[in-house]
Amino acid sequence: MNDFLAARSQMALSLGFHIVFSCIGMVMPFFMAVAHFLYIRTGNDTYKNITRAWSKGVAIFFATGAVSGTVLSFELGLLWPEFMKHAGPIFGMPFSLEGTAFFIEAIALGFFLYGWGRFNQWFHWITGVVVGISGLVSGILVVAANAWMNSPAGFDFVNGQYLNIDPIKAMFNDAWFSQALHMCIAAFAATGFAVAGIHALMILRRRNIAFHTTAFRIPALFACIAAVLQPLSGDISAKDVAHRQPAKLAAMEAHFKTESASPLVIGGIPDPVAKEVKYGVEIPGLLSFMVYSDFHTPVKGLDQIPEDEQPPVAITHYAFQVMVGLGMIMLAIAACYFVAIIKKKSWLRMPWLLRLFVIATPMGFIAVEAGWTVTEVGRQPWIINGVMRTADAVTPMPGIVYSFYMFTAVYISLSLIVTFLLYRQIRMVPEIYDIKTPAL
Amino acid sequence: MIFVVMAYLWAAILLYILLGGADFGAGIIELFTSEKNKAYTRNTMYQAIGPIWEANHMWLIIAIVVLFVGFPEIYTTISTHLHIPLVIMLFGIIARGTAFTFRHYDAVKDNMQKVYNRIFVYSSFVTPFFLGVIAGSAVSGRIDPAANNFLDAYVYTWLNWFSVTVGFFTVAICGYLAAIFIIGETDDENSRVRFIRKAKQMNLAAAVFGALVFWAAHAEGIPLDKWMFDNPVGIIAIVAAILSLAVLWYMLLRKGKVIIIRVLAGFQVTMILLAITIRHYPNIVILKGGQYLSLLEHAGQEKTIQSLAMALLLGSLLILPALFYLLYSFRKSDIVEH
């Protein structure tokens, strides 16, 4: 492994790790707020216990997300100094605002976690909501910064110089809205399915059924609404990418040839040498329709993009297929769930419905990682689309391979410990959260 | 606007040393507490910092964001040439933050607690040590952008007596701040006496390492004494710090008011930071051969600085009231644990 590949891998690993924790950190507070609200309104202790059980999880995930986020703010400079030297002053605006949002989140979390019985209950409830809102705002701001790398704005690039910098324009670049929307909905779907899946598993195992059934409903509803909305936001994103980054879209679709009535390729193994897709299913004209709402307009293929400006086709295509495929499965589960709650109440007691949710537990997060891969690998070879190449941004320091190995070891251990802690929290539900005579 | 940004950067660094430092100090005190008192010290510390520790570490993020947005060349020079200590510090931050949270939120209290404790105390030592090393290296004049071999470019930039003694000095300061802080957090008279003794020990350690920093600076050819004492502000700051230290010791012996003791300790650290930074203003990184990286000359373009300043001002309108209310609400160690 050379240093450049090691730097890219370390960055991918750090972001891929952080994204899971930040999704949970920004979505779980809303689930808690709903449970907490129901507790205050109904006085039912089960809701209070659910809120408390979830808040333990949030504390664990928030701390891990906070440290991995701190690491990222340094890694940008440690790995990509040439990029940060020029990009920092341009796309820094969302980061400086994100600092505030993150700070507010940490303060509100302190109030929320330690505020039981100390404050007016509505004040306490609001601090929980503030945790969620500031987390969501943080997420949107960070994604806006990433969107700038896909859709650079707010400066003039003249003879290698970055002139007339306008950080506000850079923040509100063309991609910020579609990317942020897609990411936020993804966070709700992924976290919702993960949490609902765990509670569904516990119900199927006949543990604390009443507790887990009540807990299951909140994330399941959020997840299913998000799963229905996500294809719509995906459509907005795809049209946007086709318009701004034709190379990325071509790689996502493994679309080698520009032709009238461009086909949509589903699955298949792209062969970048022969410039064709083997074993894929082609639906003629559908890609043209999805991008231009017209079956005949040709969509720009990889043949119109210079060889040295093409992203790796296979990885981008596979990742995109995984994301869309999982999205479709989650959409189908959501459809079943809506039928169940609206028309066929009897389905709610059927084990197969719960089993579907159990199977879907990791799906949202796999889709999130796949989507992140699409947006990052699909932008290559650029770090700032069309302006700076990733290879020109990397640190001159040799030996990044070792740093990559160490970070890998640290993140693997952390993932194991967090999983272990979560397992223990769930195993202790009967003793701590679902007791007949509450100790509190 | 550039001065607003600079003021925020300085304030963020100061607050990180004071609040984050006291927070690191919690682990350092735990490390240097005898086995039989460890549990009590740990619990008292947890009660005091539990709700606020996440917020204490946000100041580092603010400082780093100000650097990379407003002063990208300074940020990238530091992160390139001090890559290694920065990575070790980051591992420290990861280990400490997670161990602190995990030990509290592990649903089963078993032998894993010992693992979390050990990771917490050692990383509480390592992290501020390397923060100190990085700070020392920034002004040591060892960073050489033209160096063309690995050791000169990436290792000797921070592996030298001066940086290392600054690292130890930082650890001692953190321990001192935490010890002063914890005195007011206990109602138990014996423990109070023990914490006062700890504060005195940490204070002496800081004095010893402070002297060693001067020795190392002298040995390495860094004119630290000149920097501190050839200007009136530096002299006044150091004299004020020493006078306040005398008052503080008097108060410690006479069981004075906790709040005054805390303010005095904070004042001393502020004066030290002032004395170190004022002489080089507006430079914050000193390169090999006497070149400087200056906050004025190496700042980003006008519009960047303007929007950064606006973001900071807006941010502090939201953050400061909330933070004060948080500190106020949890000022006493009577947290109901849920």
ipTM metric: 0.87
pLDDT score of A143: 94
CB B55 within 8 A of CB A110: yes
pLDDT, residue B336, reads 44
Instruction: Give me the sign of the Cα torsion angle B237, B243, B247, B248.
Output: positive
pLDDT, tens digit (0-9, with 9 covering 90-100), for A288-301: 888 888 888 888 88
Other residues' Cβ atoms within 10 Å of the Cβ of residue B107: 18
- Please give the pLDDT value at position B338: 40
Picking from A36, A74, A401 by the largest number of B CB atoms within 10 A of its own CB, the best residue to mutate is: A74
CA distance A265 to A286: 9
- Total Cβ atoms within 10 A of residue A123: 11
Q: How far apart are CA B226 and CA B279, in angstroms?
A: 9
Give the integer Cα–Cα distance in Å for B29 and B179. Answer: 7
Residues in chain A within 8 Å Cβ distance of B19: none
Q: How many CB atoms lie within 10 A of CB B255?
A: 12
pLDDT the model gives residue A36: 92
Q: Which DSSP letter does residue B279 get?
A: T
| B147 interfacial to chain A (CB closer than 8 Å) | no
Q: Which residues of chain A make contact with B108, given a CB cutoff of 8 A?
A: 424, 427-428
- The interaxial angle of helices A81-114 and B72-81, nearest 10 deg, is 90
- Asked whether the beta carbons of residue B94 and residue A414 sit closer than 8 angstroms, the reply is yes
Q: Answer whether B305's CB lies under 8 Å from B5's CB.
A: yes
Among candidates A214, A208, A210, which has minimal Cα distance to A47? A214
Residue whose tokens read 């923040």: A171
DSSP-based three-state secondary structure for A394: coil
CA dihedral A358, A363, A365, A367 (to 10 degrees): -170
Could you give phi then psi for residue A160, rounded to 5 degrees? 80, 0
pLDDT < 50 stretches in chain A: 437-440
Of B62, B72, B338, the CB nearest to A84: B72
Q: What dihedral do alpha carbons A411, A414, A418, A420 form, nearest 10°? A: 120
| Torsion angle of the four alpha carbons B181, B182, B187, B188, in this order, in degrees rounded to the nearest 10 | -140
Give percent helix, percent strand, percent coil of chain A, each to the nearest 5: 75, 5, 20
Q: What is the pLDDT of residue A282?
A: 83
pLDDT tens per residue across all 338 residues of chain B: 888 999 999 999 999 998 888 889 888 988 888 888 888 888 888 877 777 777 778 889 889 999 989 899 899 999 989 999 999 999 999 999 888 888 888 888 888 888 888 999 999 999 999 999 999 998 888 888 888 888 888 888 888 899 999 999 999 999 999 888 888 777 778 888 888 888 888 888 988 998 899 898 888 888 888 888 888 888 888 888 888 888 878 777 777 677 888 888 888 889 888 888 888 888 888 888 778 888 778 877 888 888 888 889 998 898 888 888 888 887 754 444 44
User: Given this model, what pLDDT does residue A19 score?
Assistant: 94
Quote the CA–CA distance of B189 and B193 in Å, as a whole number: 6
Measured between beta carbons, the chain B residues lying within 8 angstroms of A399 are: 150
Structure confidence at residue A440 (pLDDT): 40
Distance from CA of A131 to the nearest CA of B (A): 13
Say yes or no for a CB contact (<8 Å) between B304 and A113. Answer: no
Pick from B58, B78, B105: CB nearest A421: B105
What residue ranges in chain B does DSSP mark as E strands?
A: 283-286, 292-294
Q: State how far the Cα of B200 lies from the Cα of A217, in Å rounded to an integer.
A: 56
Which helix (DSSP H) or strand (DSSP E) does residue A158 occupy? strand A156-158
User: What pLDDT sits at residue B286?
Assistant: 82
- Answer whether A67 sits within 8 Å of B64, measured CB to CB: no
CB-CB under 8 Å, A99 with B65: yes
The pLDDT value given to residue B256 = 66
**Interchain CB distance below 8 Å, A56 and B97:** no
